[in-house]
């Protein structure tokens, strides 16, 4: 079991749908991250939030829209996705101070039809 | 740019010892992390080094030489469940972001 909870675990959506991925942690971590991972590849950083403010956007297409409504929640809103966006989407968090590692959630397996 | 290199695949026998190497060239360095990832699952944290030397955690050890840009993960008494991808990641200077290597797929045979 991980302390970072992601829902849903699986999501299938059409290219015209709007859906959201959710990530929650109650460890008091103030840095939160979204990653995209394709099969047999390492995670690719998408967004970083620090103290609920978007701090890094790795040139992610606007069809992905992150949101951090409070210090425990991180959302990723999806709209008009493409088949190549099918991947495992991972959320991670860590304290902003010290050398603590990032803790990953189990991910959402997303398939775009 | 950031360059982190590790072998793509390794195989070993149950009960043996395996060493997974990682070399890196990054513009900032705030520690090197090792994660284990089973297929379809999340990466789980194994070990990290921020200073030179060896860190031991049970069957897993990790070593770092900052001057050589080199680390390794040592797995002892291999078990079948150790078959997984092992990710080497360097923490950069900005907001704790990690730069990942491509991962080493380890297969443990009986």
Which residues, listed in sequence order, are joined to residue B10 by a DSSP beta bridge? B106
B33–A31 C-beta distance less than 8 A? no
Residue B109: both structure tokens together: 């045979």
Please state the rounded mean pLDDT for residues B74-97. 93
CB A72 within 8 A of CB B4: no
Closest B-chain CA to A33: B97
A99–B30 C-beta distance less than 8 A? yes
CB A6 within 8 A of CB A107: yes
What is the rounded distance in angstroms from the CA atom of residue A6 to the CA atom of residue A21?
7
Selection from B1, B6, B7, B18 nearest residue B89 by Cα: B6
What CA–CA distances, in Å, run from B107 to B37, B76, B110?
13, 14, 10
Predicted confidence (pLDDT) per residue in A15-27, tens digit = 989 999 999 999 9
Please determine, for residue A30, whether its predicted confidence score (pLDDT) is greater than 60.
Answer: yes
Residue A84 main-chain phi, psi, to 5 deg: -70, -10
A102–B96 C-beta distance less than 8 A? yes
Predicted confidence (pLDDT) per residue in B5-50, tens digit = 999 999 999 999 999 999 999 888 999 999 999 998 899 999 999 9
- Mutation to test the B interface, candidates A25, A33, A102, A103, most B Cβ within 10 Å: A102
Average pLDDT over all residues of chain B: 94
Instruction: Kindly indicate the confidence band of residue A1, based on its pLDDT and cuts at 50, 70 and 90.
Output: very low
Which residues, listed in sequence order, are joined to residue A73 by a DSSP beta bridge? A24, A70
How far off is chain B from A101, nearest CA to CA, in Å? 7
Instruction: Kindly indicate the confidence band of residue A2, based on its pLDDT and cuts at 50, 70 and 90.
Output: low
Residue B19: both structure tokens together: 């060493």
Closest A-chain CA to B84: A40
Look up residue B79 and give its DSSP letter. -
pLDDT value of residue B77: 97
In chain A, which among 18-57 make CB contacts under 8 A with chain B?
31, 33, 40-43, 45, 48, 50, 55-56
Secondary structure of residue B21 in the 3-state scheme? strand
A110 at B interface, C-beta within 8 A = no
């Amino acid at each position: 079991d991980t302390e970072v909870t992601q829902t849903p675990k699986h999501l299938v959506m059409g290219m015209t749908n709007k859906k959201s991925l959710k990530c929650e942690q109650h460890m008091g971590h103030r840095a939160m991250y979204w990653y995209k991972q394709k099969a047999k590849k390492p995670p690719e950083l998408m967004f970083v939030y620090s103290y609920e403010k978007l701090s890094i956007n790795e040139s992610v297409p606007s069809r992905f829209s992150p949101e951090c409504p409070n210090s425990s929640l991180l959302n990723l809103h999806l709209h008009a996705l493409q088949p190549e966006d099918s991947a495992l989407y991972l959320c991670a968090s860590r304290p902003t101070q010290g050398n603590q590692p990032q803790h990953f959630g189990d991910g959402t397996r997303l398939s775009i039809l | 740019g950031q360059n982190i290199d590790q072998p793509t695949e390794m195989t070993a026998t149950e009960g043996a010892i395996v060493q997974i190497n990682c070399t890196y060239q990054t513009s900032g360095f705030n520690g090197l992390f090792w994660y284990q990832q089973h297929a379809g699952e999340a990466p789980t944290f194994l070990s990290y080094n921020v200073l030179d030397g060896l860190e031991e955690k049970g069957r897993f050890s990790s070593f770092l030489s900052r001057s050589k840009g080199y680390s390794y993960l040592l797995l002892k008494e291999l078990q079948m469940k150790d078959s997984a991808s092992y990710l080497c990641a360097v923490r950069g200077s900005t907001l704790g972001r990690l730069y990942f290597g491509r991962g080493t797929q380890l297969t443990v045979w009986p």
